[in-house]
Amino acid sequence: MRKILKGGEPFFFPGDEVGCLVTHGFTATPQEVRELGEYLATQGRTVLGVRLFAHATNVRDMPRARWWDWIASVEDGYHLLKNTCSRIVLLGLSTGGAISLYLANTFPMSGVVVMSTPHELPSDPRIRILRPIIKPLSLLYPSTPKGPPDFFAPEARDARVQYHHYPLRSVPELDILFQKMREVLPLLDLPVLFIHSKQDKFVPPDHMEANFNLLGSKDKSKILIEGSNHIITCDAARQQVFEAANNFVNRIAGKRT
């Protein structure tokens, strides 16, 4: 495995017995959730930001990754935190939110904060057409470049640590991961907070609505924010996201599971 990209390292902040397990999104790095982690740490929480398998190295590592590898990365974080924390709250951005929801059906979590999380792959007709042949096609076309950034805050764009291409071979793995998430949503019975941006063009807010409606938990809530793109933990309204997540964690901290 290659050296981790500068700024894309996992992070750990020791604190109290409430553990916050924070997970970044697809082709990104822990950098995009680090400021959220730092904020929760200032509130006294123990915070672990994991690095998903094959992320924050080189995009050429991604074709080796399978959906369960990403699950295992976060599961490792859970086992590390449970040794020192009596309660664990999962906080996941985008694909990290899908992983968090899936793991909430496997381990005894206290709650989940789901941010900018897809319900399924984008409804791009090209994906539906190419889906059956993506694996062999990826041998000829390993990746496709990302589009221009649409951050409301220019400094967020400049600070970003990520891959600049989408690996084609990973598309079927995302498809399976989102399917697995949808399967467990009706089974979940723990507090869940959904946060999404009204201006998210990459994963529109109707994805949040679909996940929210499918979720079996009675204790569920949702917040729509203004003035951010898909990466709501880095963009202009991030402080609102941090405060909402912290309020949720504070409420969970008063509950025993």
Write the secondary structure of the chain as one string of H (helix), E (strand) and C (coil). Answer: CCCCCCCCCCEEECCCCEEEEEECCCCCCCHHHHHHHHHHHHCCCEEEEECCCCCCCCHHHHHHCCHHHHHHHHHHHHHHHHCCCCEEEEEEECHHHHHHHHHCCCCCCCEEEEECCCCCCCCCHHHHHHHHHHHHHHHHCCEEECCCCCCCCHHHHHHCCCCCEEEHHHHHHHHHHHHHHHHHHHHCCCCEEEEEECCCCCCCCHHHHHHHHHCCCCCEEEEEECCCCCCCCCCCCHHHHHHHHHHHHHHHHCCCC
By C-alpha distance, which of 100, 38, 17 is closest to 246?
38
Whether the predicted pLDDT of 40 surpasses 90: yes
Q: Tell me which architecture the domain covering 11-253 has in CATH.
A: 3-Layer(aba) Sandwich (3.40)
Q: What is the pLDDT of residues 160-178, one digit of tens each?
A: 999 999 999 999 999 999 9
List the structure tokens of 61: 């590592």
Strands 143-145 and 220-225: unpaired
pLDDT of residue 138: 80
Whether the predicted pLDDT of 208 surpasses 60: yes
User: CA angle 167-68-13, nearest 5°?
Assistant: 90
When pLDDT is averaged across residues 83-96 and rounded to a whole number, the result is 97
List the structure tokens of 224: 């729509």
Q: What is the pLDDT of residues 137-167, one digit of tens each?
A: 787 888 899 999 999 999 999 999 999 999 9
pLDDT of residue 101: 98
Whether the predicted pLDDT of 130 surpasses 90: no
Sorted by where each begins, the domain ranges of the chain are 11-253
pLDDT of residue 2: 55
CB burial class (10 A; 0-12, 13-18, 19+) of residue 2? Answer: exposed
pTM of the model: 0.95
